[in-house]
Amino acid sequence: MKGKIMGLRSVEWKDNAIRIIDQTRLPTRLEYIYLKDLRSLRQAIKQLRVRGAPALGAIAALGVYLGIKDARCKDFSALAARLDKITSYLGSARPTARNLFWGLEVMAEAALENKDQPLSRIKKILLRKARGIIEEDRRSCRGIASYGQKLIKDNDVILTVCNAGILATIDYGTALGVIYRAKEEGKKIKVYACETRPLLQGARLTTWELKQKGVEVTLICDNMAATLMRQKKISKVITGADRIAANGDTANKIGTLNLAVLSRFYAIPFYVAAPFSTIDTDTKSGKDIPIEERDPGEVSDMFFRRRTCAKGIKIFNPAFDLTDHRLITAMITDKGIIKPPYSLNIKKKIAKNAHK
C-alpha cells in the first residue's frame, strides 16, 4: 500500500480522459475513474469524487481541454464562445473554491493569447497548459512544504481539518505537505485529524493518507478539538484554504473558523497553507466570498445506515466557513510565509513576484 501512495496522483490526463481517484470510495477502496465528457466531470466535482482547492484548479484546466479537444469550430470566435460556455458550466459546480475559477481563467487566457494560431495548434497548447498547471501544482506544494516545514519543531503535535493533502492536490498536499516535508527532515510529528462532518474527509481521507505516509495520526470528532487544546496536547493548527481574500480573510472547509477561534483562546499558532494562487485580490474581504450550501441530506443521512434525525427537520449545511484574518497567525504559500498585516503583505508579495 505504501508503494501505491508514493506514486499516487489524484488527477491526471490519461488515455484521452481525466483520470481521478474516486474520493467517495476511500478509505474502503482506492478506485480510479475516467471522466470522458464535461457532464460527468461536473458531476464528479459536485459529488466531491474529486475535491480540494488545488486539485480543482488542475481539473478545471483539464476540463477545458476535455471540452474543446473534439470541437470543430469554424474560427476563434466560435472557440471562444465554446470556452465561455465551458467556463460557466464548470465554474458553477462549486461557488467557493478560488482555484476552480483560476484554472478556468488561465486556460481562457492561454487560448486568447494564441488566437491567431490554427485550432489544432490551440488545442495542443491548451493541453500543454493544463499539464503545466498540474506540474505547477506539484512545484507549488513542494514550495509550501519547504517554507512551512521551517515553522515545525521536533515533537510538534498538529491539528488539522478536512483533507489538505495528496488527495486535495496532485500528489503532495498543502497543510499535510508541510507535515510530510517536516517528517522528511527528520522531525518527529504527531497529527490529530478532525473527522470533518458532514462528509468526513478528515476521517476518510486524511487519516488514510497520513497512515500511508507513516505519520502518527489520531482521529477525533470535530467537537473534541477544544478538549485537546485545553489539555495542552496541540502545539499548532494547520489547515488548507479554498479562497483567501485581499485582506487575508480565508474561506475553508466548515469547522476551520471553529479551530481558529479555539486556537486564539488557547494561544496556539493557527496557520493556513495554500498555493499563492488561492489568494483572490479581486475579493476584498470574506464578506465577498459566496459560501456554498450543500444538500441537507449530507447531514441527515448520506453516510449513515439510518437517518440521523426525524424526517422534516430543517438543516443548515454550509460547506465552508470564513476565518477572520485576525485569527490567522501566518499563511504558508509557495511564495513564502505571509504574516499580518495581510492586506499590506499580500500586496508586497504580489509586487515582488511581478518583478521577478
74 binding a second copy? (CB under 8 A): no
Closer residue to a second copy, CB minimum distance, 111 or 322: 322
| Footprint (CB under 8 A) of a second copy, residues 246-275 | 254-255, 257-258, 261-262, 264-265
* Nearest Cα residue to 210 out of 194, 224, 198: 194
CB of 203 to a second copy, least distance (A): 4
- Least gap, CB of 275 to a second copy (angstroms): 24
- CA atoms of 263 and 105, how far apart (whole Å): 35
- For residue 195, state whether it binds a second copy (rule: CB under 8 A): yes
Cell 488545488, residue?
Answer: 54
CB of 161 to a second copy, least distance (A): 8
Angle, CA of 288, 165 and 102, to the nearest 5°: 40
Sole residue written with cell 466535482:
45
Of the residues 126, 130, 145, 194, which one makes contact with a second copy according to CB under 8 A: 194
Cα distances (angstroms) measured from residue 148 to each of 185, 339, 352: 12, 13, 20
Q: Which residues are catalytic?
A: 242
48 touching a second copy, by CB under 8 A: no
Considering beta carbons, is residue 219 or 350 the nearer one to a second copy? 219
Site string for a second copy, 291-330 (x = CB under 8 A): --------xx--xxxxxxxx-xxxxxxx--xx-x------
Under rule CB under 8 A, residue 76 binds a second copy:
no
Q: In this chain, which stretch among 41-49, 72-80, 102-110, 199-207 interacts with a second copy, using CB under 8 A?
A: 199-207
Contacts of 242 (CB under 8 A, 6+ apart): 53, 96, 97, 98, 99, 251, 252, 253, 278, 320
Cell numbers representing residue 283 in the block:
475579493
The reply to whether 227 sits near a second copy by the rule CB under 8 A is yes
> From the CB of 226, what's the least distance to a second copy, in Å?
4
d(CA 313, CA 49): 27
Please report, in angstroms and rounded to a whole number, the separation of the first and last CA atoms in the chain: 41
Q: Can you tell me the distance from the alpha carbon of 225 to that of 216, in angstroms, rounded to the nearest whole number?
A: 17
Footprint on this chain of a second copy (rule: CB under 8 A): 27-28, 161, 192, 194-198, 200, 203-204, 207-208, 211, 216-228, 230, 254-255, 257-258, 261-262, 264-265, 299-300, 303-310, 312-318, 321-322, 324
